Structure 1
Amino acid sequence: MRLRSLLAMADLGPLELVTGEDELERFVRWVVTTDMLDPSRYLSGGELVLSGLQWRLEPADSESFVSALARAKVAGLAAGDALFGEPPADLLDACRRHRVPLFRVPEHIAFATVTEQVNRKLSTGRAADLSAILDQHRRLVSGDGLGSVLELVERNLGMPCWVVSSTGRVLAGPAQPPPPELCAAFLGARRLPHTHTVEGTRYSLFAVDADGTSRVADWCLVFAGDYKDWPEERRALVGELAAVVSLEHARQDDRQSAEGRLAQDLIELIVSDAKPAEIVSRLELTGLALSERYLAVAATTDSGAVRPRELRALLREILHGRSPAAGVVDGEAIVLVPRGDDAALTDRIHRAVEALEPGLQGSRLSVGISGAVDGEGLRGAVEEARYARRMAAERPNPTNVVRHDELATHMMLLASVPDEVRRMFRVRLIDPLSSYDKDNRADLVRTLETFLELSGSWARCSEMLHVHVNTLRYRIQRIEELTGRDLSRLEDRVDFFLALALR
């Protein structure tokens, strides 16, 4: 209840406001009766303090008492008339100075009556609030969304609040969106909650699921105002609101839905050795048309800071509105996106991935994007996206996106090479060299790579490796002996080149 309600409670009789008319919108959390000169240690903020003024032995005591109430951030003071007949002038002056609303309690009204009536009003209000909150939960579950919950918070507490995704998309809240730079502040904050000022306005940022979800995959609660100035019960409310919002976040995770499971099955079929007919059949079950054209997007991180399921959800968030089919295979998130404006889509992914960098906590995010294909070419598109992702992972930046047109022509051709062919090349041509290097502290693999990169030039290769040309000739001879190949033959050079590319 608010302090103003004390003036309208008929059961209390003529409770008079002496000073503090501008502060009547304060909330009363509880009622406390005290006659201690400094009761601040027993106050936590928001109380209506009842006092018979037994503590006042001299005028200076009023300053001590009222300043202690102000420090404790009480809602107001109600002083009884029994001792002095009316509030002393020094008490009135102190209340005005410290902006503590002062009420006068007539002698015939017992403090017990005031306490009973106020607590009854508080209980009724809490019951009404609980009913409203339960109703908001019901509406949320039934599909009304988060908007009505945030409206309740703003209407009752005067706290505008928005729910924002890690990519900056406003999911719920007032029509006027919060400043876009708050998303970067949320991702880059060392600790949460965090306050951030934009053009003189203070905002408070909270994670929805700080303990269970990585920062880049979480949602953010944005409040107007500085949470450090809030009373304890308002901070507790944020925790309750975060729990409600996290339910909606979990509800939007489609992994357990029929559509989500079908999408996962489709991605697994594409990556496996399934026959094209099986892929086409599952494609139609997933609701994707064979005649449509699609892009494939693959993504990984290099540490456990972002889990694969979170990366999958993050790609779906980045591609929001494009109806992507998403899955996870061997820790790699893969999505199929119906083709639209390819350049705009690529730019959208680039901007989103770069914006997420502050929230990666030192991890590296690598993304690969394929060219457009129809339903029958999905396996090649996924392979192309995965190769592009691997190329992105080799780059030094924290976030990297590689498009299909950045791949070499031979890499695009290799996108359709089956896994068993890759294994065959590695086992026959690369594994013997790797084993020899490990056992003898040699450098045959790097020698082979350099020799091929320099088109078989003995002089340039020996110079690049800082070895004598005879040492280089010995190494090449050893490579040929271990593999049974002849590096003077073009066919064998091509095989080695492809084997190195397929690692």
Structure 2
Amino acid sequence: MWFTVEDVLGMDVMQGSDVIAGRDGLGRNIKSVTVLDAPDASLWLQGNELALTSTFPLIKRRSGLQTLVEELVARNVAGLGVKLHRYMTALPPAMIAKADELAFPIIRVPDHIAWIQIISPILALVLDNDVQHLIRSEEIRNQFTRQLFSGAGLERLMALLRSLLNMPVFLISPGDAHTLLLPQDTTSADKVQQLLRSAAVPAEHLANYPGVMRKRDDGLSVVYMGFDQGTNPHAYIGAMETEEQADPTALQCLVHARDAISMSLLQRRASISIAREKNNEFVQTLVDANLSAAARKAHITRGREKGVPLHDRYLAAVIKFHNLDEHALRAATSLFHDKPNIEDVLVSSMDGARFLLLIPDTDAAGFQIDGGVACIERYIAQVSEVQAFPDWNAGISQPNAIIHLDRAFEQAEYALNHSLKSGRKCQIKLHDETGLYRLLSHPSIQNDVGRFVEEWLGPLMAYDRRRNARLVATLRAFLDRNGSYRETARALHIHHNTVRYRISQIYALTRREILNSQLRLQYQLALVLHDMTRERESEAEGRRL
């Protein structure tokens, strides 16, 4: 423990002293002792001193001594010892009240005690206390260093911290896709992350421990330290305070644990980076269109010999995220490489925040039902649980034999480009859907395409232009979800009554039963042709610019 004002009162030399104000602040830490020899001497204090005065320097400030208390508290002075006999026989009531209010201890010292009788033993005890802290701190540091040099991973280092603190401990590093709470408790982990990220809850900086902070809200109290914010934002290590607050020894453990785990994270990132580079090289070779069939077979054989779990058939998906900063991209990369690989999915990071996923086409995968859309949505949702991404687009290939993964990659890229050209975000496009585009994009039929779109969607497009509405988008979502108002509302992020109103407008404008099986096909074809028309217009505009 640190040496405190209360410890000073227990010294033999302080017999006859008594606390006349600020008793609630007796736990303030003392690191030094000084004598106030001028009315403005508080300007030269550094903090954690026990200030002593004969009150002679205070006479000139007699009417405003409450402001002196405020100055001393602002400079984190531990307390004030005064002799009330020769110059001032009592302190002003306003000063006493202010000291009580700010929990700043003021001690009346017997007049016969010389300052040196107080200063020397206090400094000796402070130095002895500092030595004990250094010894204890070195012992703690050595425990973490030994674990680190023995090859201990993050889990073992955090287990050591847990055993030393006897408190629940946590490590949160979004950029490394790593969240660890010991003992494991998903609910508590979520609450801790919400508390640490809440701008509405102020952080309290703890004296004597630079970088250590505390946050308290709704019965939850945590002490924590951040890692390097420049490379690892929102990354913290800390402990959940239970019945009692963390003591100085616990805070020392936290500081040394942060240093050791920072090194462990750097080592882990280096190892992961090397593994990912090898993995990227392997996957990129698998989908290389310039590779001969014989070379591809040899590459597959080498992969199996090295223990890569390869399957006979795969579905390829290319996912592109938009507007990711460096930290979000690193988090996405970590999650895409960590999560899908558990299911034998091969992952490659590509340029421009794009990711290639090669997903085994097994009997249990169920790709024949939706072409793999649900699977890709699940992976994107797993990524978004940790990092909220603004927008994305994706393309999915047909299932292909492993020997033809170059074809699967080409199909996925083609489907992704169609998704991007549509202008609609958070959309997955299947390669099977692009066949209709190729069939209907011939220049010779474009006049007929325009008339067909106008015939079936013209009133809705005109209404959207006049009212800045979204009837065409609502019709598309409504048909895609088999006429379900609530599913359509969820997809468009609006109330289901708004969907009902828009559908009634569509009925009124078209005078057709849009869910009629024959008419529904016409509307779906018109929507596809409408997308194709918009893509051609966007491309033409791009060429003009």
- TM-score in terms of structure 1 length: 0.60
**Would you say 1:115 and 2:131 are equivalent positions?**
no
Quick one: structure 1 residues 68 and 252, their matched pair in 2 at CA, closer, same or farther if it must change by over 3 Å?
A: same
Q: Conserved in 1, the CA contact under 8 Å of 2:395 and 2:431? A: no
Partner of residue 73 from structure 2, selected from 52, 70, 73: 70
**Counterpart residue type for residue 165 of structure 1:** P
Equivalence for 2:269: 253
- Say whether 1:352 aligns with 2:382: yes
Equivalent residue runs for 1:243-322 within 5 Å: 245-253=261-269, 259-273=275-289, 274=291, 275-291=295-311, 296-303=316-323, 305-306=325-326, 311-319=332-340, 321-322=342-343
Task: Tell me if structure 2 keeps the 8 A contact 1:207–1:220.
Answer: yes
Paired amino acid for 1:64: T
Query: Cα distance 1:26–1:113, how it changes in 2: closer, same or farther (>3 A)?
Result: closer
Report the more deviating stretch, 274-283 or 35-44: 35-44
Q: Distance in 2 between matches of 1:188 and 1:387?
A: 42
* In 1, Cα distance between equivalents of 2:96 and 2:340: 62
Does the alignment pair 1:2 with 2:2? yes
SS at match of 1:253: helix
349 and 80 in structure 1: CA distance in 2 versus 1, 3 angstrom threshold: same
Contact 1:38 1:68 (C-alpha < 8 Å) held by counterparts: no
Residue 180 of structure 1 corresponds to 190
Structure 2: distance between partners of 1:53 and 1:93: 20
* Deviation (angstroms), 1:348: 3.5
Q: Distance in 2 between matches of 1:238 and 1:251?
A: 20
Counterpart secondary structure, 1:49: strand
Correspondence 1:409 to 2:418? no
Once residues 96 and 163 of structure 1 are traced to their aligned partners in structure 2, the CA distance between those partners, rounded to angstroms, is 40
- Structure 2 alignment gaps of length 5 or more: 205-213, 242-249, 367-373, 459-531, 540-545
Q: 1:354 to 1:167 in 2, by over 3 A?
A: farther
Give me the identity figure in percent.
14
The one-character-per-residue Cα deviations of 1:276-314 (angstroms, maximum 9, x if unpaired) are 313312422552233477665533344572486664324
Answer yes or no: is 1:210 the counterpart of 2:229: yes
Structure 2 vs 1, CA of residues 132 and 291 (structure 1 numbering), >3 Å: closer, same or farther? Answer: same
C-alpha distance after superposition, 1:243-277 (max 9, x if no partner) = 65543433333666664343122112123133331
Residue pair 1:295, 1:370 contacting (<8 A) in 2 also = yes
**Deviation of residue 211 (structure 1)?**
2.2
Structure 1 stretches lacking a partner, 5+ long: 226-233, 415-424, 426-446, 467-496
Name the SS for the 2:7 alignment partner. Answer: helix
Any residues of structure 2 matched to 1:446-461 within 5 Å, and which? none
Counterpart CA distance in 2 for 1:189 and 1:384 is: 45
Cα deviation digits, residues 333-378 of structure 1 (max 9, x gap): 33446689758854542323445665x5xx6444456677775464
Matched, 1:334 2:364: no
* Residues 1:277 and 1:294: Cα distance change in structure 2 (over 3 Å): same
What SS does the corresponding residue of 1:316 show, helix, strand or coil?
Answer: helix
Q: C-alpha separation between the residues in 2 aligned to 1:285 and 1:453?
A: 53
RMSD between aligned residues: 5.7
Quote the Cα distance in structure 1 between the aligned partners of 2:169 and 2:2. 19
Q: 1:289 to 1:322 in 2, by over 3 A?
A: closer
Shift of 1:121: 1.8
Alignment deviations for residues 54-112 of structure 1 (CA, whole Å, 9 cap, x no partner): 333286565333232223343x2152659669995657665433212345667252414
CA 9–92 in structure 1, closer or farther in 2 if over 3 Å, else same: closer
State the AA in 1 paired with 2:123. Answer: T
Give the 3-state SS of the residue equivalent to 1:129 in structure 2: helix
**Does the Cα contact within 8 Å between 1:193 and 1:204 map onto a contact in 2?**
no
Helix, strand or coil at the partner of 1:260:
helix
Residues 92 and 181 of structure 1: is their aligned pair in 2 closer, same or farther, counting only changes over 3 Å? closer
The total of aligned residue pairs comes to 418
Match of 2:478 in 1: none
Aligned 8 A contact 2:395 2:413 in 1: yes
What does residue 98 of structure 1 align with?
102
Residue 480 of structure 1: aligned partner: none
**Change over 3 Å in CA distance of 1:461–1:156 after alignment to 2:** closer
Letter in 2 for 1:253: R
| Counterpart-to-counterpart distance in 2, 1:264 and 1:152 | 36
Counterparts in 2 of 1:183 and 1:125: CA distance versus 1, 3 Å: closer
Corresponding residue for residue 174 of structure 2: 165
3-state SS of 2:152 partner: helix
> For the residues of structure 1 that align with 2:35 and 2:170, how far apart are their CA atoms?
36
Q: Return the alpha-carbon distance in structure 2 between the equivalents of residues 21 and 51 of structure 1.
A: 17
